[in-house]
Structure 1
């Protein structure tokens, strides 16, 4: 990574951060300001070193309160969950509580959801098998006592039938779960979460280490029903009805969970519509598949509501939160689990040394205070600044249609897609596009020439991300406009020297 940064000419060391600005030192030791539109990959919804958040962290550390006191009463965790449940009730209109499992990163919060969903599925399977075992034994005793007959007549051995049913069920029960995710998804790079990440470059090298995933076409959520039919499995049960023993099928819980982002971050800032969300929710409810909504990048107020899923009416069984939850100061993550699905026993089989530490909880409570202050002024501010930035980017698409393709996203989670330059006349631009480096080349130019920092999305490298804090100013927006107009003009002129420097002499 260091070699790549050096190659692009962006291997600078930032020495200070404030709001939407980072600073590095030039050769004379003077601070050089850089406007940060990357925003910690969405983690800095409150900007760098928000004064109230910093003051809270400093106050906690000076207080002498323990940062780590595992296996003790931790009322601050309860206060965080209470605040989040208030937000859930307000945004989704539900009274059902959500329980929480704290962790340390977004990928880990996804792993928690993955583990809990499988734990829930296994307990469901165990209960189903126990119920069938009772039915089978009751049927066996009824046949032996003469109170019931078997479906194929009196000459059939009831023990042989029971053995066949038990053996068939053992094979089905040993099946691993089927997991679902949307094409274009990004849910992390840990052993389980990387299998939910659609980009094959991240996923394939580790495919043998975790349960496999079936990816649903992003714009075809109706495909879930087809997948359900293809993956359907049944357990056999013996039922007593009017003196007869009948073999009946019971649906086996095949699906572990469906994971989705309502605004795909690394997949190119693509939004799920309300109609798509309804189709997904209905299809998953029909097959008993819990829905996990990954709000790691889109949540925390960035899109104009705390949960980006609330405006489209998608209430999840699990929410994964991280990034902005730590206010740019601590590494905090949380998995919210719907009350009807929560398994209290999970607390005894999952734990984390650094999760739910005192410092992180204090910071998270302050972050929630800031976001919720003045009736949610932060959310309104994110929506207003986001609308302004969206209008600017759309005006650029209209002005430079030969260079820019479209703007996507909502609030302060926006993506600007450039047109494919794989057939550009300028050879170095063409080579960069074919090597999937075009977005990095443009972002490097923005930093060098205009002191603006952003990056392409990981799995859609022609799309630049713009995720500043809610404190984005008119001056910072104007600076971005000037910089992007310069980029578009130079790309339109095929001015590759601006991006790469003079061509080497031969």
Structure 2
């Protein structure tokens, strides 16, 4: 029995089976690569689902976390720390937030969405519009905004007042945006739905409609934020400013942290002392990690690298002219490869056997969200293997 099989058997006896049986037991990482407990190396093209922004074992992140652990890990929310204050200031600066904007630090994207829901309720209107295809988290509040029926139905009734409308459809939004709606919550690019990017002008249209109707525009940047799309935050490419945004995933480079950012004094004043809180949110360890991630992305030009490598990847896949591959979509280093047939799950398994970690995000699409440090050699290695992988997947399904 391999070390992997032994540990997975122990996993099955010790952990709740909500994730099914994991495919691998990973042991360590370096850069864009990870190794399992049997010593097999994989090119990590998923990055912990858009989390490992700096890759694995990055020296700047390791140094920052090690230094903070030796100084202070936790202090409770009765107090604050230099790292917490500096991180909030940095996020407001990167978001080009106006005076009066504020940050609430959390431990995850789901918690960030829960804070956003409270913000929406503080408008005095009970309605929230979310999008078909949306994914916002698994807690009962965030789950109410998540569209997938299989996630929602076992736990209904959920938060009342939430309606789902078609994504990338301004007419549908205008029709639904009545006086009962306090907020519209949406992803600038839908990740879990298959890396779906709306048409140019959609986000600007949402901003105009919500402002006209007096509703908040809340953007979920949990997956798209922190440089993933080539901008610090995906909404910036649309030339707009939302009322609030949620962050997590790549912000800590693997250390759990999230945030709700409110834009302007009116929105920021909606949550007053005692209305929300978090025991671990904004702890010194996570804040120090996030600062190291932001510093490294800026210093090493990783926004530009995300844009350049995303374009390079899309062009390389197109150059394959493989009959089973219908195209790519996405922006920066949040990408999907689409297929002519529903072979994505088998492609992902074949890719893993060949040493690549990817995600079958839809029956006919795989998702890639690699570390922002990825370079041409890693992209070339995967693209050169993609055609044969697709061929084997088709053969297996025939």
Q: Scaled by the length of structure 2, what TM-score is found?
A: 0.90
Conservation of the 8 A alpha-carbon contact between 2:76 and 2:280: no
Q: How much does 1:332 deviate? A: 0.2
Which position in structure 1 is the counterpart of 2:170? 221
CA change 1:345–1:484 in 2 (3 A) is closer
Q: How much does 1:10 deviate? A: 6.6
1:363-402 → structure 2 map (5 Å cutoff): 363-373=289-299, 377-396=301-320, 399-401=321-323
Distance in 1 of aligned mates of 2:22 and 2:140? 30
Q: Which moved more, 1:75-84 or 1:108-117?
A: 75-84
Distance in 2 of aligned mates of 1:444 and 1:258? 37
Conservation of the 8 A alpha-carbon contact between 2:119 and 2:271: no
1:339-354 → structure 2 map (5 Å cutoff): 339=264, 340-343=266-269, 345-354=271-280
Which position in structure 2 is the counterpart of 1:112? 115
Runs (4+) of structure 1 moved beyond 6 Å? Answer: none
Which position in structure 1 is the counterpart of 2:3? none
Which position in structure 2 is the counterpart of 1:242? none
Conservation of the 8 A alpha-carbon contact between 2:248 and 2:257: yes
Distance in 1 of aligned mates of 2:239 and 2:195? 19
Distance in 1 of aligned mates of 2:327 and 2:318? 7
Which position in structure 2 is the counterpart of 1:14? 26
**Match status 1:406 vs 2:327:** yes
1:258 pairs with one of 184, 187, 199: 184
Conservation of the 8 A alpha-carbon contact between 1:18 and 1:50: yes
Which position in structure 2 is the counterpart of 1:453? 357
**Match status 1:101 vs 2:104:** yes
SS at match of 2:238: coil
1:133-212 → structure 2 map (5 Å cutoff): 177-212=126-161
Q: Which moved more, 1:297-306 or 1:71-80?
A: 71-80
What is the aligned-residue RMSD (CA, Å)? 2.2
SS at match of 2:234: coil
**Structure 2 stretches lacking a partner, 5+ long:** 1-7
- The number of residues matched between the two structures is 382
Q: How much does 1:66 deviate? A: 4.4
Conservation of the 8 A alpha-carbon contact between 2:92 and 2:103: no
Which position in structure 2 is the counterpart of 1:269? 195
Conservation of the 8 A alpha-carbon contact between 2:119 and 2:270: no
Q: Deviations over 1:62-89 (max 9, x none)?
A: 23x2423330133322211211122122
Conservation of the 8 A alpha-carbon contact between 1:81 and 1:99: yes
SS at match of 1:262: coil
Conservation of the 8 A alpha-carbon contact between 1:85 and 1:97: no
Q: How much does 1:278 deviate? A: 1.8
Q: Scaled by the length of structure 1, what TM-score is found?
A: 0.71
